[in-house]
Structure 1
Amino acid sequence: MASSSNTSNASNVHTNTRTGQRRPHTKSSTGCTQCKDRRVKCDEVRPSCTRCSRRNAPCSYLSEVSNNTANNSPIASSVQSSPITSEFDDENTRALELKLMHQYLTSTSIVLAQDSTDITFHSHVTFKHALSNPFLLDAILATAAIHLSTVEPDKTQFWIRTALQYHNRAITGLNDALKDPSSSDSDALSLSSMCMVTNCLSLSGKRLGGEEVDAVTELIGTRKLLGGVILCLNQTIIGAGGLRNGTFEIWRDQQLSNSLNPNDTVSKNFLTHLDSTNPVPGHLGVYFSQFSNFAEYQVKNDEFYHTTLRRIKEMSTYVESLTSEYKEDYQNSCTLLLAAMDIFKSNRGIIIAWPTLINEFMVTLLQTGDNIASLIFIHYGVALYLSTLHCFSKGAGKHLVETLSMALEVKCPEWIEVLNWARASVLRDM
């Protein structure tokens, strides 16, 4: 529901001033975003309130309504419980959305990519589909807002709140599209579901109302979402054999071929040149090579990777020594996590997907507070943080480690050394 305007009446203002009467103060929950950030009263004049007009500052209004959308799809069931959905005042969001689009195309698409092909995929294919599918556009605007929350620290809360608004609006749109997928753009559904994963990982623990969010509940929701992504992608590229046959790259390249102008080779050649002239491919080469301490970053990143790998191997050895009715489940989970770490440098996404690869019973054990399951998921949390360390979606790994380690510290004080290592690991920021 659009927020109502309480336009000031000039004559009343002058009358109150002359008689010395104080105007009644009514706290409003529908003031502009900028006044809310500054914790000052907003008179809600449209299109720009008085305070913003005097400061020559942008003025935008975000209103909140409850999200009652329900859907039985894997994607919808994992995200429909999000606390709010939003409606934006179109007159006041054009500048905001232009900024978010610019951020996504010039920076976020680079940070999310693994190589130059990925950069082109995010900036061309995803954006092209977004222009004709509002739910995908809302999803990538949320991603851009999340990114801005990390590069504009003085406006972090504003950008997080903006991201949550767009994220929830994307959820509503995606749920509506999934009700009749045969009439929807299947490629846009797949692209949107992938954006949702990034957004859910990044917004872990974030809620507008400030209420506490359970890390395990979020993990279960993300696991369902990942399952929905895999299902959606398999259906999208089923003609090529599905994801299980490793054909995501084929689908991606087909999408690129359909989206790019064959006469425009400048962008492609430039990105390929960057790949060939930097010590690491893709976004890392593009983004980090400009810094004088790039070599130091590489050393620290490699050290973090090898330390995490060693710790997971030590945990796996410990699990092998156990006598437990769940030992096989523990071992299989450790084996899959080690396998994901082995190919981590060429495929970071496998770490993110690990919860979908393990036995569902392991998630049940985690929910019941099983100590060994919690220990395994703590190591996964560190690996997840490592896999997203270079970008902005570090929230989920950090939230999971901090939550589980605090509970285990009480129950298993003999594990304090490894718990302290895990907590210190998710505080890194290189």
Structure 2
Amino acid sequence: MQQESPQTAEHTPSSRDSRQASPAVDEDDVSAKITRKSHRKSRAGCKNCKTRRIKCDETKPYCANCKRRQVQCIYLNSPYSTSHDPSPQQDTPQDPNLLPISEIELTHYWTTTTSYSLSTRPAGALSWQALTMTVGLSHPHLLHLIFAFTALHLASCRPSQRDSYTAKSNKHYDIALSLLTPALANLNPNNCDAVLLSVQLVCFIHWARGPLPGEYLAFANTNNNPDSSTAAKSEWLLMFRGIRTTLESLDRGSFQKTHEPATRAKGLPLPLSSLNEPTGYETQLSSLREHVEFISDPIDRDDNIKAVDILVEMYDNRYTGKDAEYHVVFGWLYRMSDSFLARLERKDAVPLVLFAHFVVLIWDLERFWYMKGWTWHVMGGIWGALGDEDRAWVKWCMASVGWIEP
């Protein structure tokens, strides 16, 4: 090792000598360093905000960002937590001997209340109540969707605890989707009933979360590029069409009849006094058929006429007491061709006008907690997507549901 030359040692003061020569300056430096350290960056944000690299307000049990995005908010234990973190006992693992009270509550409410809101028929309600839970015990994705849907029901019934129940719903929904995705990829006779029920519940959960800006069930206005030739996709329609995909991917004999919508038993007619029958729907639909036949492009005419004819069938089922199930009206969307639904997603005029007449049938469904607010929301989206000339053909629809243009 080379030794420092005497000349250098003599004429170059060491850092130690410098500190001794100017103690006042050193004290200020030390104080400044201590002050800077006391403003250490917090690392107690939630997992989602860390992943997205955005500022987290660290509100618990869910931060503002996760609440706005309606996703599960997860806080990880961190050795760098600040003094604002919760007390240690909050991060202590729960006693394994404690009962899962939250899941017990959701199971009880599903069995006694929520399942009965899914059908107007006692037999249909009992099917959702017991058979669905039985299938769910063997297929956890269905069980978690039951919990997610029930938590949203509790959130609507108990406004003071809405945020807590919504967070529980989001947690179970995220878990369910992670389990349902591989099941869909491996659809077979052993899991098809559970998958079919899960896909149906996903649609119900989407309704129960309430209307979202730009989402109108069968079309959307969420495309960030207005000049794009690609139509914005409706998340709900994608999930709803998953029901048909599930049914068509296997032979019908693979499904139990209690779980297959197309083979569901019919019940007693609905009392007409309980229905909001639109005035003169027969005359309106007859005029609509003539209009559609006249203005449709030749390539789309048969598809459009078929859509009107099925609408007439759905109106007759509802208002002449032929079918006791409110949700049967969604058979209209279920039976539409892929090309018709693609034109609806593109917001072509004729499919939009026909969709507005379908929305009138949803009006009666607003008696169910999970459908509240959807009729006016969707009607407003249709009105905004139509031109002035075509809007004349949805005036009857607007009057039937009591929606007034803005």
1:96 aligns with 102
The residue aligned with 1:370 is: 348
What is the aligned-residue identity percentage? 16
Q: Find 2:317's aligned residue among 332, 343, 360.
A: 343
The change in CA–CA distance for 1:393 and 1:233 in structure 2 (over 3 A counts) is: farther
Contact residue 351 and residue 387 of structure 1 kept, 8 A: no
Partner of 1:303: 276
Shift of 1:44: 4.1
Q: State the partner residue of 1:29.
A: 46
- Matched-pair contact (CA < 8 Å) for 1:382–1:426: no
Is 1:111 the counterpart of 2:84 in the alignment? no
Deviations along 1:122-167, one digit per CA (max 9) or x if unpaired, are 2211112212321010111111122223222334444344333322
User: Residues 157-210 of structure 1, C-alpha deviation per residue, up to 9 Å, x if partnerless?
Assistant: 44344333322321221112233334843432232233223223333645xxxx
Aligned to 2:8: none
Query: Any idea what the Cα deviations from partners look like across 1:256-311, whole Å, max 9, x if unmatched?
Result: xxxxxxxxxxxxxxxxxxx99xx969xxxxxxxxxxxxxxxx74x42345676765
Paired residues of 1:202 and 1:395 also in contact (CA < 8 A):
no
Specify the alignment match of 1:146 in structure 2. Answer: 152
Q: Are 1:327 and 2:301 an aligned pair?
A: yes
Letter in 2 for 1:113: S
Instruction: Compute the displacement of 1:362 (Å).
Output: 1.6
Instruction: State the shift of 1:423 in Å.
Output: 6.5
- Matched residue of 1:142: which SS? helix
Q: Which amino acid in the other structure matches residue 405 of structure 1?
A: W
> 1:162 aligned to 2:168?
yes
1:333-386 per-residue CA deviation (whole Å, 9 max, x = no partner) reads: 011112122223423333113212122222222233321211111222232343
CA distance in 1, matches of 2:402, 2:165: 27
Conserved? CA contact 2:155–2:165, under 8 Å: yes
Q: Is the 8 A contact 2:103 2:147 kept in 1?
A: yes
1:194 aligns with 2:196: no
1:414 and 1:170, CA in 2 relative to 1: closer, same or farther beyond 3 A?
Answer: same
Gaps of 5+ in 2: 1-36, 48-57, 69-82, 220-232
Question: Which structure has the greater CA radius of gyration?
Answer: 2
Aligned to 1:393: 371
Where do 1:214-225 residues align within 5 Å? 215=217, 216=219, 217-218=233-234, 219-225=236-242
| Aligned equivalents of 1:150, 1:309: Cα separation in 2 | 36
Q: Number of matched residues?
A: 321
Checking the alignment, whether the CA contact within 8 Å between 1:340 and 1:351 is kept in structure 2 is yes
Q: 1:404 aligns with which of 364, 382, 398?
A: 382
The alignment's TM-score, normalised by the length of structure 2, stands at: 0.63
Determine the C-alpha separation between the residues in 2 that align with 1:195 and 1:397: 20
SS class of match (2:85) = coil
Query: Matched residues in 2 for 1:336 and 1:167: separation?
Result: 34
Say what the alpha-carbon RMSD is for the aligned residues.
Answer: 4.5
Question: Which amino acid counterpart does residue 45 of structure 2 have in structure 1?
Answer: S
1:38-49 alignment runs, 5 A limit: 43-45=85-87, 48=90
Match of 2:289 among 307, 310, 316: 316
Q: Which has the higher contact order (CA 8 A, sep 6+)?
A: 1
Which residue of 309, 312, 334 maps to 1:356? 334
